[in-house]
Structure 1
Amino acid sequence: MMLRYLAYTFAAIWLLHAFWPSVAHAQTAPAQVSQCQAIAETLPKATFASFTPAAATTGQAAAGEVTISYLGHSTFLIETPGGISIATDYNGWFRPEAPPTVATMNKAHSSHYTLTPDPAIRTVLHGWGDDGEPARHDVVVGDAYIRNVTTDIRSGAMTMEHDGNSIFIFEVAGLCIGHLGHLHHELDDSHYRQIGRLDVLMVPVDGGLTMGAESMSRVVSRLRAALILPMHRRGPPINAFLDMFGDDFDKSFATGTSVKVSLRSLPSKPLIYILQGV
């Protein structure tokens, strides 16, 4: 009788240990993990080299192509393999043919946002905090994971508004795509750690409305994305920006307003690619 009692007791204990972890795990949703930040957070002063096509696809199946189209000013349309469309620094003036699924915005100037977006846009992400706190986005929409890194903006002649701008990062099809927004200052190590690796970088090249070409070129060189897409050009010719980069960067003018990019097609040497309309 005693042996049978002990056997039942041990069986009950074993069942509790066997099934309790799986029940608890099933009730806890896993947090989204950034593939672009995976290494960055552990290397405080690293400069991140972009993937070469060979390195990017080793042991991986092709994840599909992303189409990036320049609509005007700082607005690009990013179209994912899963059918999600994202408009950057959306202001309502430069619109795609159909309302985008997602619109990101910054508020340095009215040309970078609208407070009356098309109601058909499913997700609107402000680059500034609406509640007095910094904007914090960590959103999955279809096959796109979207997050942000806040920076400061000029709010007057001699003052800066903390966290008034966001660098938005879109992780799609294995690619890390970054849009600098209306960046007003050089980044520090904490920004680079939060950003991590970028394969595609959208960068303002106005030479002063955001910040000077030399300062912006240092940011671009540090991020060292494989594909660099200029935007927000007002005033100086594009060559004023291109001249900041030596032979370790290729430069090319596109024949259209769009580019298709995938892990396989990333250039092995950083390419500054000027889409038509810039």
Structure 2
Amino acid sequence: MMRFLVALALLIAAPASASQCIQLAGAPAPKLWRAALAPGEVRIRYIGHAALRIETGQGRAAVTDFYGDAGTGPTPDAVTMNHAHATHWMRNPPAEIPYRLKGWSEGAEPVRHWVQIDDLLIRNVTTDIRAGAGWERDGNSIFIFEYEGLCIGHLGHLHHLPTDGHYAEIGRLDVVLAPVDGGYTMSVPDMITVLKRVRARVVIPMHIFSGYALERFLAGMADTFEIDARPGSEITLSATSMPDYPVIRVLTPERAPWAE
């Protein structure tokens, strides 16, 4: 209930850059695009590990779980980071990156981000992470990228099933970037449970440590998702052109996978 009220408060208090994903939670999901990047389109490129580069038709770019490699292209406008491991964050990101968004809390209150860059909105929803024999409260962030009606969620280093309050804060997701390592974050069955509840039209696996874990994940999702494992490290999407059926798009990382 508390997280639902937080989500409602964030929406009411939000500036002109109100979240379309929260407003439209539960609404019919919109549809894969094919042509060159244009206004309204987003290109997602898999750099490696949990780092993906998100580029918009307006020329803006953000990199998730930034560890120092922003991929090819201009300096990104924003990077998001989680501190579970060194491969998910950088202690001192380059100063030329305007927005360097940490996903963990360093005080009593959860870290909150609501950043508008032209038509790209970046916000976060905090979750807990394991820390030794216990848990670190609000130690991870699910970062959500909204552009022209398209809602993209990067689950970060998600260690537990989200609560109803978390789902209320997240809102609708059209695309999910999901860790499928099978143990460092969540078990394969638990990750499948999360994704089948979110019901995004496109799921992009990341944080992959073995073909075995990936195959288990794909097998568990095959009853409701089409599997697209064509070679390629990127995908271009638009809110006005999404698949009529849910798809798992397995991308090839541009860099060699990191070890945890």
| TMscore range, shorter length | 0.7 to 0.9
Q: Which consecutive residues of structure 1, in runs of 5 or more, have no partner in the other structure?
A: 1-28, 41-47, 54-61
Partner of 1:6: none
Distance in 2 (CA, whole Å) between partners of 1:105 and 1:30 is 24
Q: Deviations over 1:79-133 (max 9, x none)?
A: 0111110000001146434321100000111100001112221111000123442
Q: Which amino acid aligns with 2:143?
A: F
What is the SS of the residue equivalent to 1:36? Answer: helix
- Paired with 1:266 and 1:188, the residues of 2 have a C-alpha distance of 27
SS of structure 2 residue aligned to 1:186: coil
Instruction: Determine whether 1:262 maps to 2:238.
Output: yes
Whole-Å Cα distance in 1 between the matches of residues 139 and 248 of structure 2? 27
Amino acid at match of 2:114: D
In structure 2, the partner of 1:194 is 169
What is the aligned partner in structure 2 of residue 73 from structure 1? 49
Shift of 1:208: 0.4
Aligned twin of 2:195: 220
The Cα of 1:247 is off from its aligned counterpart by 2.7
Residue of 51, 75, 78 corresponding to 2:29: 51
Note if 1:134 corresponds to 2:110.
Answer: yes
The answer to whether the 8 A contact 1:201-1:228 is kept is: yes
Matched AA of 1:112: H
Question: Equivalent residues in 2 for 1:67-216 (5 A)?
Answer: 67-93=43-69, 95-156=71-132, 158-216=133-191
Amino acid at match of 2:172: R
Residue number in structure 2 paired with 1:44: none
Structure 1 residues 182 and 30: alpha-carbon distance in aligned structure 2, compared to 1, 3 A threshold: closer
Q: Any idea what SS the aligned residue of 1:37 has?
A: helix
CA distance in 2, matches of 1:154, 1:161: 6
Q: Aligned partners of 2:114, 2:240: CA distance in 1, in Å?
A: 27
TM-score with structure 1 setting the length: 0.79
- Alpha-carbon distance between aligned partners in 1 of 2:156 and 2:173, rounded to the nearest angstrom: 15
Amino acid corresponding to residue 201 of structure 1 in structure 2: V
Change (3 A) 1:254 1:50: farther
Quote the offset at 1:49 in angstroms: 6.6
Check conservation: 1:178, 1:202, Cα contact below 8 A.
yes
Q: Work out the CA distance in 1 between the residues paired with 2:15 and 2:55.
A: 26
Distance 1:30 1:154 in 2: 34
Q: Cα–Cα, structure 1 residues 34 and 207, in superposed 2: closer, same or farther, change >3 Å?
A: same
SS in 1 for 2:21: coil
Contact 2:40/2:148 (8 A) holds in 1: yes
Residue type at the aligned position of 2:192: S
2: CA distance, partners of 1:34 / 1:160: 30
d(CA) in 1 for partners of 2:186 and 2:194?
A: 11
User: Counterparts of 2:199 and 2:113 in 1: how far apart (Å)?
Assistant: 24
What's the CA shift for 1:268?
1.5
Partner Cα distance (1:35, 1:225) in 2: 15
**2-side partners of 1:160 and 1:131: how far apart?**
15
The one-letter code of the counterpart of 1:82 is Q
Tell me the CA shift for residue 66 of structure 1: 0.6
Contact kept? 2:42, 2:237, Cα under 8 Å: yes
Higher CA-based Rg: 1
TM-score, structure 2 as length reference = 0.85
Q: Which residue of 2 aligns with 1:37?
A: 22
Equivalenced residues, count: 235
Aligned residue for 2:250? 274
